[in-house]
Amino acid sequence: MGSRDRIGGLIMLAFSLAYGLMALALDSSAGLAAGGFSPRTLPLILAASGALLALLLILRPPPGTAEAPPALQLRHLNWRPALLLCAVMLVYAAIFPYLGFILSTVIFLSAAMVVLGIRSPRLLLLAVLPVTLLLWLVLSRLLGIYLAPGELLLLLAAQ
């Protein structure tokens, strides 16, 4: 238990110190007229309190509570699908501007479901297409939100 808190404390300590260093680099002259309050006043206070609290967590980790979350056994976690899902989300962000809403959403949802173990093509179609089309209809037709069709499709259409 304690070691987990120490790791968390160390990470937050490093974060606070980096944050504080960046805050020191901020321009402090801007606030001289305003009661000594400059853009770096609050960040510096925060960096100091963050570092202090992180040190406290490292030096005096709280006693373990009786109901520790079961998520602790890192090795027993289902890492593969979760990481793959993150990758699929990144792919979605990458293809979205090029393929547009409908195509990229169909790809995203199908890929995510395949990652989680759905293999039946019929089920995939049934789950993915209605959601995508319905949402597209609601957004673009009902609410009148402009969803860019995707640069790649525009290029193809222009030729």
Partner 1 sequence: MWQGIETGLVTAFSISNLAVVVVGCFAGTVIGMLPGLGPISAIALMIPISYGLDPAAAMILMAGVYYGAIFGGSTSSILINAPGVAGTVATTFDGYPLARRGQAGKALAIAAYASFSGGTLAALLLLLAAPALARVSLSFQSADYFALMLFGLVAVCAFAGRGQVVKSLLMTVFGLMLATVGTDPTAGVPRFTFGQLDLIDGISFLLLAMASFAVSEALMTVLNNEDSARQAAKAAAAGAGSLALSKKEVAEIAPAVGRSSVLGFFVGVLPGAGGTIASFLAWGMERGLARGAARAAFGKGSLRGLAAPETANNAASTGSFVPLLTLGIPGSGTTAVMLGALLSFGIQPGPRLYIEEPAVFWSVIISMYVGNIVLLILNLPLIPYIARLLAVRKEILVPLILFFSLIGVYLVSFNVFDLWLMVLVGVAAIGLRLLGLPLAPMILGFILGDIMEDNLRRALIISNGSPAFLWARPSTLFIIVATALVALFPLFNRRAQAGEGG
Contact 50, 16 (CB under 8 A): yes
In the complex with partner 1, the residue whose CB is nearer, 80 or 159, is 80
In the complex, minimum distance from the CB of residue 48 to partner 1, in angstroms, rounded to a whole number = 10
In the complex with partner 1, the residue whose CB is nearer, 90 or 137, is 90
Q: Which of residues 125-154 bind partner 1 (CB under 8 A)?
A: 127, 131, 135, 139, 143, 145
Residue 26 interacts with partner 1 (CB under 8 A)?
A: yes
Distances (CA, A) of 107 to 2, 102, 116: 43, 9, 14
Identify the DSSP state of 70.
Answer: G
At residue 104, φ and ψ (nearest 5 deg) are -70, -35
In the complex with partner 1, the residue whose CB is nearer, 27 or 156, is 27
The token duo for 40 is: 């770096």
Among 14, 21, 24, 30, binds partner 1 (CB under 8 A): 30
Q: What's the chain's Rg over C-alpha atoms?
A: 25
Contact 29, 38 (CB under 8 A): yes
In the complex, minimum distance from the CB of residue 29 to partner 1, in angstroms, rounded to a whole number = 9
51 to 80: interface string for partner 1, x by CB under 8 A: --xx-xx--x-xxxx--xxxxx-x--xxx-
The token duo for 24 is: 């020191």
In the complex with partner 1, the residue whose CB is nearer, 49 or 155, is 49
